[in-house]
């Protein structure tokens, strides 16, 4: 099960192209307090839950309003995002323990770090139609690293895995159709969801401690180095 925003949906679509059954829901966006609920509900059905949920998705795309609110209140957007990411990690651990208490062991939650914006692609012709709403998202590059750092300094549930999506995106720069997605709703822009495949395979094998695959090094492990 993939939970979160359009990035989560895109990963789910790439998973489907690998003939792996999966589902997607964006209901996790409803409110911060619902995150644990949706993870817990998903763990009742699915062995693996993948989450890409950032603090800014809670306001459904009004990124500039959220960031300006932080600035006006004297709150660091980096620290605010770090707090949200820590909440996601803790909520995942709580949901896994609840599943274990109900006789559902060996479940796994994969939390993805924040996907950064590819500004050059965002503004290249034809530019994303609502690019003005994302002008302050240069911070997304820092959010991903803040996420990874927070995970390293937190006592995680052993079956909570942090996937460095921001480093994966940096490795494959220049391939996102609109600066955010590896696919596009515009017919005149190519689709590059295939770049997700190795990453998805790595995520699904991560909890088995598989570090080698026929194609080479585990993508997620390599991005963490």
Q: What number of other Cβ atoms are within 10 A of residue 169's Cβ?
A: 26
Q: Report, as ranges of residue numbers, the positions in the chain whose pLDDT lies below 70.
A: 27-33, 53-67, 135-138, 184-191, 204, 206-225
CATH 3.40.50 is held by the domain 2-224: yes
Q: Are 58 and 29 in contact (CB under 8 A)?
A: yes
Sequence-distant (6+) residues with CB within 8 A of 4 are 26, 28, 29, 51, 52, 53, 57, 112
Q: Would you give the distance in Å from CA 3 to the centre of its chain?
A: 9
pLDDT given at position 57: 52
pLDDT given at position 152: 86
pLDDT given at position 211: 30
18-49 pLDDT per residue, tens: 888 888 877 555 455 577 888 888 999 998 89
pLDDT given at position 28: 52
pLDDT given at position 81: 79
Residue spans of the domains in the chain: they are 2-224
């Amino acid at each position: 099960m993939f939970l979160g925003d359009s990035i989560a949906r895109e990963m789910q679509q790439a998973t489907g192209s690998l003939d792996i059954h999966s589902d997607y829901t964006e209901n996790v966006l409803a409110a911060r307090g619902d995150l644990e609920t949706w993870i817990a509900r998903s763990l009742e059905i699915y062995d693996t839950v993948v989450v890409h949920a950032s603090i800014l998705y809670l306001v459904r795309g009004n990124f500039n309003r959220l960031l300006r609110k932080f600035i006006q209140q004297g709150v660091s957007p980096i620290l605010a995002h770090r707090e949200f990411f820590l909440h996601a990690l803790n909520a995942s651990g709580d949901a896994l323990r609840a599943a274990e208490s109900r006789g559902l062991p060996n479940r796994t939650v994969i939390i993805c770090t924040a996907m950064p914006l590819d500004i050059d692609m965002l503004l290249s012709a034809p530019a994303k139609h609502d690019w003005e709403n994302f002008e302050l998202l240069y911070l997304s590059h820092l959010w991903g690293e803040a996420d990874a750092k927070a995970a390293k300094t937190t006592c995680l549930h052993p079956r909570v895995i942090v996937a460095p999506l921001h480093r994966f995106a940096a490795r494959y720069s220049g391939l996102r159709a609109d600066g955010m997605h590896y696919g596009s709703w515009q017919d005149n822009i190519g689709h590059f969801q295939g770049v997700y495949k190795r990453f998805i395979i790595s995520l699904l094998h991560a909890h088995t401690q598989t570090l080698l695959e026929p194609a080479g090094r585990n993508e997620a492990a390599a991005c963490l180095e």
